[in-house]
Structure 1
């Protein structure tokens, strides 16, 4: 038998990086000289208190906010060189998003909410709903597919948001306090399902949180104070 290769000798390819990133709101510098790297299938947590700049950095990484200086790269390609249309296509086809309050569309069913990224990418309704149903089933939500968001609990709604973020097997999911609105039991359950499904798909996750228990589930942790990001520490 061949000699086993240790994890320290194997490295998943980098998929997302930030180099020397600054972000300003007028005269206020919200992010200062941030450096970050995330590999395929890796979960990176950015911790910090409210107002520290962690959410601002997340939106820079996702191409939602333009950086004032430095560079964000996805698969080696600088986001700063992309047109607005190219950025929109990138976010629609390769990125997923999970927010603190789920932000489901009230007029759509649970299944339709989950299928939304596929429908926006041009997939036909039947296959999109079938894919949504499969992911909902994996998250224990198969029986809720015909309900509206107002007919499910907060924990269930957040699971639906996770399903929606992962249904199109994105390369990267950006999660902004994804369990912040839940009690500890529901938060732990949602986080376990979210990260388990993401890792099984090889999806990288960039997770913003102020909760040390949430950050402890990551593979690498960064901390942010007054717009300054500390070097990432493997956990």
Structure 2
């Protein structure tokens, strides 16, 4: 394996009943790389994303993280991998309404067993980098959509994961907020050497990626990769 390669898919297939959703997908993602997957609704791009993250089991083929096949991991190991080495950003943030912004951000560290004070300090540092330090004690209902999505980015990156999986991370935002959130997300991820795999319908978002894949009827194709 290339030492810079962190995630790969080899001949990945997924079906819902008799209906194929992903057909023989091939993909590699390097450390610190941003890979975008675009395609029409129903093309299979989100299904592939969740296969790569170990959320959906593949019917055929193999997903490897740092050289190890996810199929070799039991449920407990997969849960630990998603909790400790992966981060997730969803279209609508999915923040817990009963927790403060600071507590939401610190959640991955708390789930990994880090002490509260240490976790909150790390959360404060990331929130500060995203311009959210003044919102630490507010609840999700007390912040805007753009701010909420920035918090989701902070939560995904606070534990310095190897890969962040993002499903339409700016899809719920207007164009100005979407551009700002994407700028901050990708800048922070790249500064930490975190790879990003994102699904988007937005060509402007995909244009910011190092590698652009397209998906149609479950078939994945790589359009471009920047030279190292």
Q: How many residues align?
A: 225
The equivalent position to 2:87 in structure 1, one of 93, 96, 102, is: 96
* Corresponding position of 1:211: 202
Equivalent pair of 1:48/1:225 in contact (CA under 8 Å): yes
TM-score if structure 2 supplies the norm length? 0.97
The equivalent position to 1:33 in structure 2, one of 21, 24, 28, is: 24
When the two chains are superposed, the root-mean-square deviation of aligned CA atoms in Å is 0.9
Determine the C-alpha separation between the residues in 1 that align with 2:8 and 2:184: 25
Determine the C-alpha separation between the residues in 2 that align with 1:71 and 1:231: 18
Q: Over alpha carbons, which structure has the higher Rg?
A: 1
Unpaired runs of 5+ residues, structure 1, are 1-10
* SS in structure 1 of the partner of residue 40 of structure 2: coil
1:17-41 deviation line (CA, Å, top 9, x unaligned): 0000000111011000000000000
1:108-123 to structure 2, matched below 5 A, reads 108-123=99-114
* Corresponding position of 1:158: 149
The equivalent position to 1:61 in structure 2, one of 34, 47, 52, is: 52
Equivalent pair of 2:211/2:222 in contact (CA under 8 Å): no
1:149-169 deviation line (CA, Å, top 9, x unaligned): 000000000000000000000
Give runs of ≥4 in structure 1 deviating > 4 Å.
none
The equivalent position to 2:191 in structure 1, one of 200, 212, 215, is: 200
Determine the C-alpha separation between the residues in 2 that align with 1:26 and 1:119: 37
Matched, 1:191 2:182: yes
The equivalent position to 2:35 in structure 1, one of 36, 44, 60, is: 44
Determine the C-alpha separation between the residues in 1 that align with 2:204 and 2:3: 25
Unpaired runs of 5+ residues, structure 2, are none
